[in-house]
Amino acid sequence: QMCIRDRIASSQIMQQRITQLMCRLYKPDIMVGLPADSYGMFEFYRSEEILEAGRAATRAALERLE
């Protein structure tokens, strides 16, 4: 029987694979990402921190395009 950590890990791996496939099928103009180990699936209480990290990563990615 799978424990909750195994189920979460399986879900995260599945989501990563789906994302990789979609990026191969539909090439994005720009890709912005955060390290997967910088936040957890259920860390909603850190939403402001995670959103700000995403904003900073987006700004950096846009600057590289210019």
pLDDT at 36 over 80: no
Looking at residue 42, its pLDDT comes to: 81
**CA–CA gap between residue 32 and residue 55 (Å, rounded):** 9
- Mean predicted confidence (pLDDT) in 17-35: 91
CB 53 within 8 A of CB 38: yes
Q: What is the mean pLDDT of the chain?
A: 88
Confidence class for position 22, pLDDT limits 50, 70, 90: very high
Higher pLDDT pick, 56 / 39: 56
